[in-house]
Chains A and B, each alone.
Chain A
Amino acid sequence: MSIVGDLALEAETVTPHVEAASERAKLPRRVWVGAAIVGAYVLVAIFAPLLAPYDPLAQAPLMSLANPSRAHLLGTDELGRDVFSRLIDATRIDLSVGMLGALLPAIVGTVLGAIGGYFGGWRDSMIMRVADVVQAFPTYILIIALVFVLGQGIGSILVAFTLLAWVAYARLIRGEILRIRELDYVQAARAAGLPSRRILSRHVLPNVIGQTLVYLPSDIVLATLGLAALSFLGLGIPLPTAEWGAMIAAGQPFIRDQWWLSTVPGLVVVGFGLGLSLIGEGVEEWTQL
Chain B
Amino acid sequence: MDPAVNPALLNVQDLRIRLNAGPAQIAPVDGVTLAVDRGEALGIVGESGSGKSLTLKAILGLLPAGSQVEGSLRFSLSPDGDAEVSPDQMRGRGVSMIFQEPMTALNPTMRVGDLVAEGARGTGLRRAAAKRRAVELLDAVGVPNPAERARMWPHELSGGLRQRVMIATALSTEPALLLCDEPTTALDVTVQDQILGLLARLRRDLNMAMVFVTHDLAVIAEVCDRIAVMYAGRLVEIGRADDVLAAPAHPYTAALIASAPSFHDGAGRLEGIGGQPPDPRAFPPGCRFAPRCQYVQDDCRSAPHALISTDGHATACIHPEALTKVAH
Residues of chain A having any CB pair with chain B under 8 Å:
1-5, 7-10, 12-15, 17-18, 21, 120-121, 182-194, 198, 202-203, 206-207
Contact = CB atoms under 8 A, between A and B. Distances in A.
A4 B202 CA distance: 9
Interface residues of B, number: 51
A187 B169 contact: no
A15 B107 contact: no
B5 to A, nearest CB: 29
A120 B142 contact: no
A169 B100 CA distance: 33
Interface string B118-147: 110010000000000000110110101000
B173 A192 contact: yes
Nearest to B163: A12
22 contacts: A1-B136, A3-B202, A5-B201, A7-B144, A8-B142, A12-B158, A12-B160, A12-B191, A14-B152, A184-B104, A186-B107, A188-B97, A188-B105, A188-B107, A191-B92, A192-B91, A192-B96, A192-B118, A193-B92, A193-B93, A202-B118, A203-B110
Closest 6 CB pairs of A and B: A193-B92, A184-B105, A193-B91, A206-B109, A3-B140, A185-B107
Nearest to A182: B64
A9 B99 contact: no
A120 B107 contact: no
Given A3-B206, A194-B92, A207-B108, A21 B118 contact: no
B88 to A, nearest CB: 9
Given A188-B169, A193-B173, 14 more contacts: A1-B139, A3-B205, A5-B201, A10-B191, A13-B158, A14-B157, A120-B65, A186-B107, A191-B92, A192-B92, A192-B119, A194-B92, A202-B107, A203-B109
Nearest to B107: A185
A207 B154 CA distance: 13
Contacts of B139: 1, 7
Contacts of A188: 97, 99, 105-107, 166, 169
Given A1-B136, A120-B65, A193-B92, A9 B144 contact: yes
Contacts of B60: 191
Nearest to B114: A202
B104 A15 contact: no
B95 interface: yes
Interface string B196-223: 0110011001100000000000000000
B80 interface: no
B10 to A, nearest CB: 15
Contacts of A18: 156
Contacts of A12: 144, 158, 160-161, 191
Contact of B157 (A15, A186, A203): A15
Given A12-B191, A17-B156, A183-B104, A194 B118 contact: yes
Contacts of A191: 60, 62, 91-92, 95-97
Contacts of B172: 192
A184 B170 CA distance: 13
Contacts of B160: 10, 12
A182 B197 CA distance: 30
B84 interface: no
A62 B194 CA distance: 89
Nearest to A13: B158
Contacts of A194: 92, 118, 122
Contacts of B104: 183-185
A187 B194 contact: no
A114 to B, nearest CB: 15
B144 A14 contact: no
Contacts of A3: 140, 201-202, 205-206
A67 B62 CA distance: 73
B101 interface: yes
A202 B106 CA distance: 12
